[in-house]
Amino acid sequence: MSSPRRVTAPASKSLSHRYCISAALAAGESRLRHVLESRDTQCTRAILAAAGASFRLEARSEHGDAADWRVDGMPGGLPRGATPDAPLSCDVHESGTTCRLLTAVLAAGKGCFRIHGAPRMHERPIAELTDALALLGPRIRFEGKPGCPPLLIETDGLETAAVQGHVPLGMDHSSQYFSGLLLAAPLAGTAGGVPLTVALTGGKAVSWPYVGLTLQCLQDFGIRFAVEVLDDAEQWRALPGDDWRHLETAVPGRLRVTVQPGRYRPGEHTVEGDWSGASYLLGAGAVGSSPVRVEGLRADSLQGDRAMLGILRDMGARLAVEDDAVTVEPSALRGIDVDMGACPDLVPTVAVLAAAARGETRIRNVAHLRIKESDRITAPAQELARVGVRVEPQDDGLVVHGLGAEVLAANVRALSPDARFQAHNDHRIAMSLALLSLLPGVTLALRDRLDDPGVVAKSFPHFWSLWEALR
């Protein structure tokens, strides 16, 4: 085996958002290391700063993709808005994470806030979260399409007494509704000391591991909580110690989280590597001509996209896992049947890998991908069709009829000089398509064939420069 190409995973976007929010709500100064520098995280920091926190840059990484920050928490630990006539402008741009997490957190503050963003954001639903928040006192008004941003929040904080400290909330469309309310929960009921219990309802719970990351963040910042499940005897049972870390899924009607009121505790924290961003790099090892070693990944991470390891193994990829790195070797891939409800961000990557595999790949339980930055069920189908891959969109996923690496590579090599691909204004579509450029004998520079290569700045600004090291 040839020596592997060595690359470092970007910082976790999910944890960067959560750590910035928690540090902004803490009583005092926190230090955050290795925070992802991307459009999405910049939106979160800007809104938190406008609401009263202070962020001071200490250092940037060599490529400018991560930074260290000193954060002074908001006075009183509460976001401060403005007046109904001139509400605080909170531009989330295209960041769904910023929108959902901060809608809940800002609703726990004081004053008026206007949540708005790019046109696509104004089509993405948030009513499930705002309905739950309205039960706790804030007044919320939608300016355009009902149930979607832009929206106005007028609040005097979250009060738990009126609902006896209990709020039902579903995760059929996004786990970020649940995570947002958990992040806001310590700020609720602080006057009366009534804890807030968030009960999981609805038909299904998508992307549960992201809620695990939220709980990890609450624990890191000193917030006390209890996770309870309904056992076989239909009795609520609190999970002891850190057993919540081992929950891989959650069942609506059978799980609830109770968060105690209190202040976030300042501290020093380092953001771990991002398994979502690393998925393209790991996939490069499987379909490229050289092994790829991705460093900076925690093997014990709670990130749901660590599922990429199991998916690659099931597809026949050869890989080696260490405590902080993964090496993937070029491999003959095969089609699989996979439920990706817990790791939906991996779907574009797996779809392209499936195109290079032999046989059929069925991706299931990801209907909510239609309301992401793009329709992530339709977009991969449209782009893979350009290189002769038949993809069947389904109600809850897609079926990819793999061609095998050799045939797919031949199709890519046969593209006309003026052939173009569309990123669909979606960073994950753009980065997953880059895998086509690493197939055997392919010299195509995918970046030059994309309508918007810069869209990767949403989560992985230095992606293309790092990708060149793999070619």
With tokens 């190409």, the residue in question is: 5
The one catalytic residue among 40, 65, 274, 345: 345
Structural contact between residues 166 and 197, judged by C-beta atoms closer than 8 angstroms: yes
345 carries an active-site annotation: yes
CA distance linking residue 294 with residue 281, whole number of Å: 7
The alpha-helical segments, DSSP class H, found in 125-207 are: 127-134, 176-184
CA distance linking residue 197 with residue 168, whole number of Å: 8
- The enclosing H or E element of 236 equals strand 236-238
With tokens 């793009």, the residue in question is: 374
Helices (H) and strands (E) in the chain, counts: 14, 21
Burial class (CB in 10 A: 0-12, 13-18, 19+), 429: buried
CA distance linking residue 156 with residue 123, whole number of Å: 28
DSSP state of 251: -
CA distance linking residue 83 with residue 70, whole number of Å: 29
CA distance linking residue 469 with residue 471, whole number of Å: 6
Q: Which residues does the annotation mark as catalytic?
A: 345
